Structure 1
Amino acid sequence: MSTWYYAGVERQPLGPLSTDELKQYFRSERIALDTLVWRDGMMQWRPLADLVQQLDLLEVPRPAPFDAAPTFASGPDLPPMPASAPSPPAATLPDTDDTRPALPPAPEPAHEAPTPAGGRAVFNLGSDPSPTPVYERPEIIQRMAVTASSESTVARNPYLAARAPLQAEPSFVADQDVVYAGFWKRVAATIIDGFILSLVVGLCGELFGMILSDLAGGGELATAITTSLCTIALNALYFAWFHSTFNYATPGKMAIGIKVVRSHGEPISFLRALARFFATILSTLTFCIGYLMAAFTARKQSLHDVICDTVVVDKWAYTTEPERQRTELGAVAIVVLALYGLILVAGVVLIFFVIGLAATAQRFG
């Protein structure tokens, strides 16, 4: 059985409801056709009007008899009904003293089919008009009304070609509640990005540094300098390119479900993202106090966010579906932080073990 949710007056999700309960809410007018509903498996929230036929919310009127005009709640403009033929006038008698009542008019002779001659079939090409024209038949009127008043049915037809709107939706929606990414979400994203950078960017930077140093004919010092410069350049391109494209987030931020935008929700440009990367140097030079600011500021901004007018928010912030934002850490962030904590503890234990082992060897040596 499907589990449904519907949007309240303040656009908060309410539920869960079964399909029968959802129908009962509609019949009791607690929800209307313009109420947004959602269930597991749907890509996005949709008005209840789009699911009328799927849920059988509105009963289709039965066709009326042929001698009665059908009535519908709404439908296209229909042609007027043809006027019925006037009845023939009653026969009148001449002015006489005869007081006998007037005789009724003689009935018209019925059209009879000609008698076949010689065993051959004779077809009559002419016939009386149908008592109900085709365009006035109830089933035809009903079909026209459903076709004209239900464009959503056409949109849901799986056999029609896909159609796209002429204008794309805006990239952000302002003036809404925003969930800012907290300190620990940003730490988890930094751990993931640091792992990627150490494996890919570190190796590429060292390779490019050695190549450039060999081309320039330098020694070990030149190799170290070119390797450091290439690593910094690749790190800057990594953060600037990801923050200004795709989902405005690096792979680490995408895994956690956060993104970087301007203070009012607009996407950041490549140059601003590049400046934000170099502004992180100031956050590092302040003994990482610039990073710790994200745990105490109102909008969870670090020092480099304040400098570059950026914020880190939930991935559904400033979109058409702000109700999907989440304030909790999430499973990915919890797992990453737990693993990183275990690695740190294991590293500290290993260091003390090595120090103790060296001290023991020196004592007995």
Structure 2
Amino acid sequence: MSTWYYAGAERQPLGPLSTDELKQYFRSQRITVDTLVWRDGMMQWRPLAELAQQLGLLEASRPTPFDAVAGAEALSSGPDSPSMPAPAPPAAAGAEAEPPTAPSLPERTPVAAAPAGGRAVFNLGSDPSPTPVYERPEIIQRMAATPAGDAVAARNPYLAARAPLQAQPTFVADQDVVYAGFWKRVAATIIDGFILSIAVGLCGELFGVILSDLAGGGELATMITTSLCTLILNALYFAWFHSTFNYATPGKMAIGIKVVRSHGEPISFLRALARFFATILSTLTFFIGYLMAAFTARKQSLHDVICDTVVVDKWAYTSEPERQRSELGLVAIVVLALYGLVVVAAAVLVFFVIGLAAATQRFG
């Protein structure tokens, strides 16, 4: 049962009172709806009018004002001491708890009188629940269902809900699949080639020179170590990206495609590494291994057939297969168009240089 205190005429806290005693004081006109009251769990003193509905006092008629000084003197002579502090909430066994101190009384503010001839209407604010947070049933159930290692988090009811992080999308089989066409793969290769030529090329050159200097080799040794470092960095680039995140390199992610097993399962790092070295065979066949992607049923290149992989839309084998798109896409179109312009410009420049050299030799 709640323990109540009320403000006397000199703004001093009087009590404690039980809820029934508080109601009896109201009915006997020892306190009024303008009297400030407080109990355990409340943040500040509040007029009794704001708690009238909660306490069931609206049915009682509004009492007339009484001499607050006389009432305070009568109460001071009774068993209730004006200076008695608010009792402490129940504490755990064996633990010492300090009694809570009632908040200081606010400055006296006028209270608007109820309209004459009508029933008073009060603005009832929300009142904090007297039940401690850690004793609420839903919190107890959460603590019981939480592993021992998360006990601290379970005791915090204000902690945001947590869910296990998934670095990779969920695999869903048995659905229609959109395979990545030849031109999508070409656009992704162009983007990856641009990244590799800048980042991996510079790193390979740097590591090659450093290793060659440490070994004390000459120019030939520098070329060999640089080529080996560039090859290793290229292999790690494709193997790591194809086996992690969205199973795609930055170029494939930009186009919206990914590399998976023939039935949609993710590929491992070793399989992705083997797929990279299998691309050497696709190159040695005068790039016919790459052109196979334009004619095979599942858009597989030679290295895909060797390593049992396919290149599909990024939404394939997921819970949202309807988001797959078979069209080329804006990014792929822009990349292919820009690359085409560069190739054409380079060809024109080469012919111009050759023609200029021939003309110079002829008339020189």
Give TM class, smaller chain: 0.5 to 0.7
Tell me what 1:163 maps to.
161
Contact 2:170–2:319 (CA under 8 A) maintained in structure 1: no
How far apart are 1:328 and its partner, in Å? 0.5
Structure 1 residue 166: Cα displacement: 7.0
**Matched residue type, 1:333:** A
Contact 2:257 2:312 in 1 (8 A): yes
Once the 2 structures are TM-superposed, how far is the Cα of residue 163 of structure 1 from its aligned partner? 3.0
Partner of 2:241: 242
Aligned-partner residue type, residue 181 of structure 2: G
> How far is 1:171 from its partner?
2.4
Normalised by the length of structure 2, the TM-score is 0.55
Question: Residue 207 of structure 2 aligns to which amino acid in structure 1?
Answer: F
1:1-365 matches, cutoff 5 A? 162-164=160-162, 171-365=170-364
| CA distance 1:218–1:351, shift in 2 (3 Å) | same
SS at 1:260's partner residue? strand
Amino acid in structure 1 at the alignment position of 2:194: F
Write the letter of the residue equivalent to 2:227.
Answer: S
Is the 8 Å Cα contact of residues 283 and 290 (structure 2) preserved in structure 1? yes
Deviation at residue 200 of structure 1 after TM alignment: 0.5
**Inter-CA distance 349–248: structure 2 relative to 1 (3 Å threshold):** same
- Give the whole-Å Cα distance in 2 for the aligned partners of 1:170 and 1:329: 23
Higher deviation after alignment, 166-175 or 322-331? 166-175
Deviation at 1:364, TM superposition (A): 1.1
CA separation in 2, counterparts of 1:219 and 1:200? 25
- How far 1:306 sits from its partner (Å)? 0.4
Distance 1:160 1:353 in 2: 72
SS in 1 for 2:259: strand
Which amino acid in the other structure matches residue 217 of structure 1?
G
Q: In the aligned structure 1, how far is the partner of 2:339 from the partner of 2:182?
A: 15
Q: Which runs of 5+ in 2 are unaligned?
A: 1-156
**Aligned-pair CA distance for 1:161:** 5.7
Give the number of aligned pairs. Answer: 211
Task: Tell me, in whole angstroms, the C-alpha distance in 1 between the residues paired with 2:176 and 2:339.
Answer: 32
CA displacement 1:48-92 (0-9 Å, x = unmatched): xxxxxxxxxxxxxxxxxxxxxxxxxxxxxxxxxxxxxxxxxxxxx
1:109-141 CA-partner distances (Å, limit 9, x unpaired):
xxxxxxxxxxxxxxxxxxxxxxxxxxxxxxxxx
TM-score (norm 1): 0.55
Pairwise CA RMSD: 2.3
Q: Which runs of 5 or more structure 1 residues have no equivalent in the other structure? A: 1-158
Deviation at residue 191 of structure 1 after TM alignment: 0.1
Matched residue of 2:172: which SS?
Answer: coil
Shift >6 Å, 4+ stretches: 166-170
User: Residues 169 and 246 of structure 2 are in contact (CA less than 8 Å); yes or no, is this contact kept in structure 1?
Assistant: no
1:215 CA displacement: 0.4
Residue 61 of structure 2 corresponds to none
C-alpha distance in structure 2 between counterparts of 1:343 and 1:317, whole Å: 33
Q: Which residue of 1 aligns with 2:37?
A: none
| Other structure's SS at 1:311 match | strand
Counterpart Cα distance in 2 of 1:219 and 1:283? 33
Q: Distance in 2 between matches of 1:210 and 1:167?
A: 41
Distance 1:359-1:253 versus aligned 2 partners, 3 A rule: same
Query: Using the alignment, how far apart are the partners of 1:206 and 1:166 within structure 2?
Result: 41
3-state DSSP of counterpart to 1:268: coil
**Residues 255 and 166 from structure 1, CA distance in 2 versus in 1: closer, same or farther, beyond 3 angstroms?**
closer
Residues 166 and 246 of structure 1: is their aligned pair in 2 closer, same or farther, counting only changes over 3 Å? Answer: closer
